[in-house]
Amino acid sequence: MLIDPKTLPEDIASLKQTIVGMVSARAELEQKYRSQIDYLQERIRLLQKELFGRKTEKYPLPEDAKQLKLFNEAEVLCPDAEDEEAAQTMEIPAHTRKKPKRKPLPKDLPRVEVIHDISEEEKVCACGTPLCRIGQEESEKLDIVPAKIQVIRHIRYKYACKNCEGVEDDGPTVKVAPMPPQIIDKGMATPGLLAYIATAKYADALPLYRQEKIFARHGIELSRVTMAGWMVKSAQACEPVMELFHNVLLSGPVVNVDETVVQVMKEPGRSNSSKSYMWVYCGGPIEKPVVLFQYSPTRAGDNAREMLKGYEGYVQSDGFAGYNILETNGSPIRLVGCMAHVRRHFIKVIDAQGRAGPAKSGSAEVALSYIGRLYEVEKYARRNELSPEQIYDLRRERARPILEEFKAWMDKRVDQTPPKSLLGKAFTYALSHWNRVIRYLEDGRLKPDNNVAENAIRPFVVGRKNWLFAGHPNGAKASATLYSLIETAKACGLEPYRYLRFLFERIPYASTSADYQALLPQAVDPAQMV
């Protein structure tokens, strides 16, 4: 603001009073808008990090936080007697480094032997004595042959009765061998081709228009429209399997759920720019779970309530308020929160600090150190392959004190933090979801986070970056079915292409519930999939 010198008082005392007033007013303005300025600067640094920074949640703790962990060795490491002895006797060479050993190639791959021999002249020693072979040296190199495309010719012999040739009413008796049942009736697609296209798109994120170009390089004219129709028909043929997937999902003690956006064209009553959603549910037997995808035009919690109707047990999710509908009064469902989302909010605080942030440990780093100690307990349980009962006891002994200390520290810090700052929002998120976040202490089969569902939905998110949208609701439903089949097969330790080929070959013959039950990934023996 410009000041006209003529308006200033002439005497020194009044002039000093005017200057003091201006300085005080400036200080009041700075104090008034300081929190807003800090908030905007945080947002700018966070956006810069999201646009140009590393896409990882791993964050190296500062030296102060690392020093903090030294005073919690028992809680962090949870050593047993063998670990302590190994720690006391371990020696680290000063200047030696082991060369990483290459993993051997799979034994089930076919081998082609190429013999390398010396010439006949070289097989004679300089002294004139013929050399004798004393052994051989072997090395293996990996080769690849491009996809083999072949045509299956179905030849069906026809038979006729010669005695009936002169019959005028019905003509001669003719018999021909029937075609085997196919998913694509009267089409040229075999189960192997359908499995190949589905695996390429839904497991390898290769859109149909790219596959169209690949087939064209082999001289095959196969349009993306045709392939899209095949995928829809393949998914429709597998609907009985999806019903069984749903039953398996409801049988488990834990269901992990997550959702993400998907753009779907030609939805009735909606514009093409509207957001739709793909939901994923992971549950059933812990060793061989079901991964069930569901397309829905909305994000309403009613989708999850309808999918989980009749379910009794734990449902783990992020902090989305739509899931609250599952845990109403008298509901047999208990919601479990996600520690990874709590951690993510504190990582945003550190990301927003940028290079200009404090070098020493701040509140966000202290929070991450608490969470790191909790995950060290989980790491110890995995390393020692503890049973759910043992994990329950371990968490009660080791994790509960850390959680109580973490909660008390946040209760103290939250009142000293501006609520609109990223740190204030991190505290608010953690404390508002705390009762559900710590619920994983109740059962050793639970995890502290919802990473199971987030990892299951990641292939869909990666694929979405390539194919961008679904052209029709039928295509979105087919995608949900095929993603379910592929991700469930992977969760059960099956190779997706082989499982889909096995399924597509046999599902036309299935008619009873037992037939479809035998086709579930949980029931299939890998040896059956040749």
pLDDT one-digit tens code per residue, 176-215:
988 889 999 888 999 999 999 999 999 999 999 999 999 9
Q: What is the pLDDT of residues 355-408, one digit of tens each?
A: 444 445 688 999 999 999 999 999 999 999 999 999 999 999 999 999 999 999
Q: Are residues 211 and 288 in the same domain?
A: yes
Residue 472 and residue 331 in one domain: yes
Beta 290-296 vs 275-283: how paired, if at all?
antiparallel
Model confidence at 220: pLDDT above 60: yes
Nearest in space to 253 (alpha carbons), one of 283, 292, 287 = 283
DSSP E strand stretches across 157-239: 158-160, 174-176
pLDDT for 259 equals 93
User: What's residue 28's pLDDT?
Assistant: 78
Mean pLDDT of 15-20: 81
Which residue type does 365 have? E
User: Is pLDDT above 90 for 19?
Assistant: no
Residue among 453, 452, 450, 454 at smallest CA distance from 338: 450
Q: What is the pLDDT of residues 29-56, one digit of tens each?
A: 777 776 667 767 767 777 766 666 666 6
At 207 the pLDDT is 93
Burial (CB count <10 Å: 0-12, 13-18, 19+), residue 388: middle
CA distance 230 to 477: 13
Close Cβ partners of 110 (under 8 Å, ≥ 6 residues apart):
none
- Average confidence (pLDDT) over 149-160: 90
**109 within some domain:** no
- Mean pLDDT value of segment 299-322: 93
For residue 500, is it within any domain?
yes
Asked whether residue 348 falls in the same domain as residue 292, the answer is: no
Buried b / exposed e along 449-461 (16+ C-beta atoms within 10 A): bbbbbbbbbebbe
The answer to whether the pTM exceeds 0.85 is no
The pLDDT assigned to 50 comes to: 65
Q: What is the pLDDT of residues 105-125, one digit of tens each?
A: 888 888 999 999 999 999 899
pLDDT exceeds 70 at position 530: no
Based on the fold, state whether residues 468 and 413 are members of the same structural domain: no
- Mean pLDDT of all residues in 129-143: 90
Same-domain check for residues 385 and 309:
no
- Tell me the helix, strand and coil percentages in the chain, rounded to 5: 50, 10, 40
Nearest of 149, 199, 146, 231 to residue 497 by alpha carbon: 199
From 413, 448, 483, the end of a domain falls on 448
Higher-pLDDT residue of 40 and 319 is 319
Cα(371)–Cα(365) distance, integer angstroms: 10
User: Of the given ranges (39-53, 152-166, 453-467), which has the lowest mean pLDDT?
Assistant: 39-53
Single out the residue in 430, 448, 466 at which a domain terminates. 448
- The pLDDT of residue 442 is above 90: yes
Hey, what are 336's tokens?
Answer: 């479990």
- Provide the pLDDT for residue 350: 86
Hey, what are 92's tokens? 């680290």
| Residue at a domain's end among 420, 448, 476 | 448
What is the distance between the alpha carbons of residues 232 and 208, in angstroms, rounded to a whole number?
13
Is residue 325 domain-shared with residue 367, that is, in the same domain? no
82 vs 409, higher pLDDT: 409
* Mean pLDDT of the chain, nearest integer: 85
Structural domain contains residue 33: no
Give yes or no for a contact between 507 and 485, defined as CB atoms under 8 angstroms apart. Answer: no
Cα distances from 72 to residues 65, 67, 88, 302, in angstroms, run 11, 10, 18, 44
Sign of the torsion angle spanned by Cα atoms 486, 489, 493, 494: negative
Residue 412 sits in the same domain as residue 270: no
Q: Do the domain assignments include residue 28?
A: no
C-beta of residue 481 within 8 angstroms of C-beta of residue 242: yes
The verdict on residue 148 lying in a domain is no
User: Residue 74: pLDDT above 60?
Assistant: no
Q: Which domain holds residue 430?
A: 339-448
Instruction: Map residue 128 onto helix, strand or coil.
Output: coil
Q: How many residues are there in the chain?
A: 530
Classified as helix, coil or strand, 378 is helix
Specify if 175 maps to a domain: no
State how many domains the chain has: 2
The answer on 518 and 423 residing in a single domain is no
Assess whether 330 and 200 both reside in one domain. Answer: yes
Is the domain of 291 the same as that of 191?
yes
Same domain, yes or no: 353 and 398: yes
Q: Which amino acid belongs to residue 284?
A: G
In the numeric block, which tokens belong to residue 46?
């966070």
Q: 354: pLDDT confidence band, cut at 50, 70 and 90?
A: low
The single-letter code of the amino acid at 33 is Y
80 belongs to a structural domain: no
pLDDT of 80 higher than 50: no
Pair type for strands 333-336 and 290-296: unpaired
Give pLDDT tens digits for 487-518.
Answer: 999 999 999 999 999 999 999 999 999 999 99
The letter for the amino acid at 220 is: I
Q: Within 10 Å of residue 111's Cβ, how many Cβ atoms?
A: 7
428 in the same domain as 302: no
| In a domain? residue 421 | yes
